Amino acid sequence: MTDRSRADVLLELADDELILGWRNSEWTGIAPFLEEDVAFSSIAQNEIGHARALYELVAADLGTTADELAFDRGPDDYRCARLVELAFVPDWASTVARHFLYETADAVRIEALKASADDAVAGIAAKIDREEVYHRIHAEMWIDRLGSEPQVREALDRLLPYALAVVDEELRPELARRVEEKLGWTNRDVEAVERGEHLPELATLWEEMTVVRRSAPAGTQW
Amino acid sequence: MVTAADIWAALDEIPDPEIPVISLVDLGVVKNVTVEGSRVRVAFTPTFMGCPALDAMRRAMEQRIEELGAEPEVEVVLDDSWSTDLITAAGRAKLEASGFAPPAPRSAGPTTLVQLQRGPYRCPWCGSADTRLENIFGPTPCRSLRYCSGCRQPFELFKTL
């Protein structure tokens, strides 16, 4: 980990997982076939579960709650990378490309966190990694199937700069190496689209994601 | 006054909310029970972090401990200490009897696609090893779907974690 606080490092990860989980869940009911409907729904559920666990850890540090972190911030306060904000339904080629790039980037990031001297961080990272083995198998299966199709190649090329920004700068060469290892090609001359500003799509997602929370007075019991 | 053994026995009567043939103790998710007077602390590990049954399991444990006249404190432990290796022998037998192929051990190494496609997962219905992967994902995060060419029945595989 760098010299940032634990909360700063984990919020980026948690926000990525929450927003990507939301994007993946947009395929629920409308994926190209039933197995993928189940797969993307299940992966979404895992990602949101990871976000919840991470928010709980961060909430303890910041004196707040996981729900407040997940739903009570404004869209500009989220730390997520733009890769996870992009809205793709019904574009399956871009979805497959992002799925592979995100899971590969997340593996690199999670491996680094597993080596953390902070036991709570290392413990959560190890558990996330066990679950994401299945996400990676699934993503790589789709690259084997469609990776050489022009639409998927174009999407991989277009999204690589976004994927690089998912991990810290020192981890980017390793991410590029893994992407190249799987695809057999990569574009090394791209600049990362850094975190910071958000795409307009995030505000639209946020409106939908927080509508129930915002409609209910604080302290409502479900 | 309740003892730790009473608590373990009580928790062993709580079925997993999504696979009710197996108890929480059989599933290996109860990590630790500590009794201090009337206070009972249970350390509990989820299977998958996004498991929707997490809150239901916690409430069921709290309720059962309260029924024994004790004050429950259920702590969710979020680390890598739960593994499918912790499912008891009795639990594995119950899973198999209800149509789940038990998970491969962690010692077999991280799961790969080749292993899922070619692995010798036996059909829990007819015992045939002629089975194939239908979907890595299934009705809950912890399950995969397989199909048996022997008896032409689908079945579920508990994912190795």
pLDDT at B159: 93
Kindly calculate the radius of gyration of chain A based on its CA atoms and give it in whole angstroms.
Answer: 17
Instruction: Report the predicted TM-score, pTM, of the whole model to 2 decimal places.
Output: 0.95
pLDDT at B143: 93
CATH number at residue A51: 1.20.1260.10
Cross-strand pairs, B30: B44
Contact status, residue B24 vs residue B57, Cβ threshold 8 Å: yes
For residue A209, tell me if it sits in a domain.
Answer: no
pLDDT tens profile A85-128: 999 999 999 999 999 999 999 999 999 999 999 999 999 999 99
For residue A212, tell me if it sits in a domain.
Answer: no
For residue A78, tell me if it sits in a domain.
Answer: yes
Residue-range definition of the domain harbouring residue A105 = 6-200
- What ipTM did this prediction achieve? 0.92
For residue A35, tell me if it sits in a domain.
Answer: yes
% of chain A residues with pLDDT over 90: 91
% of chain A residues with pLDDT over 70: 97
pLDDT at A222: 65
On the question of pLDDT at B117 being above 90, the answer is no
Residue A122 CA to residue B109 CA, distance in Å, equals: 20
A-chain CB neighbours of B142 within 8 Å are none
Domain count, chain A: 1
Q: What is the token pair recorded at A8?
A: 């700063």
Q: What is the token pair recorded at A28?
A: 């629920």
On the question of pLDDT at A1 being above 50, the answer is no
pLDDT at B31: 96
**What's the burial of A30, exposed, middle or buried (CB within 10 Å: 0-12/13-18/19+)?**
exposed
pLDDT at A194: 95
Give the gap in angstroms from C-alpha A25 to the nearest C-alpha of chain B.
13
As a whole number, the mean pLDDT across chain A is 95
As a whole number, the mean pLDDT across chain B is 93
For residue A218, tell me if it sits in a domain.
Answer: no
The verdict on B117 touching A (C-beta cutoff 8 Å) is no
Q: How many residues does chain A have?
A: 222
A-chain CB neighbours of B49 within 8 Å are 46, 49-50, 52-53, 127-128, 131
pLDDT tens profile A157-214: 999 999 999 999 999 999 999 999 999 988 878 999 999 999 999 999 999 999 999 9
Cβ–Cβ gap B78/A133 under 8 Å: no
For residue A34, tell me if it sits in a domain.
Answer: yes
Domains of chain B in start order, with CATH, are: 4-76 (3.30.300.130), 99-158 (no CATH)
The verdict on B110 touching A (C-beta cutoff 8 Å) is yes
Residue of A nearest to B159 (CA): A134
Residue A202 CA to residue A216 CA, distance in Å, equals: 22
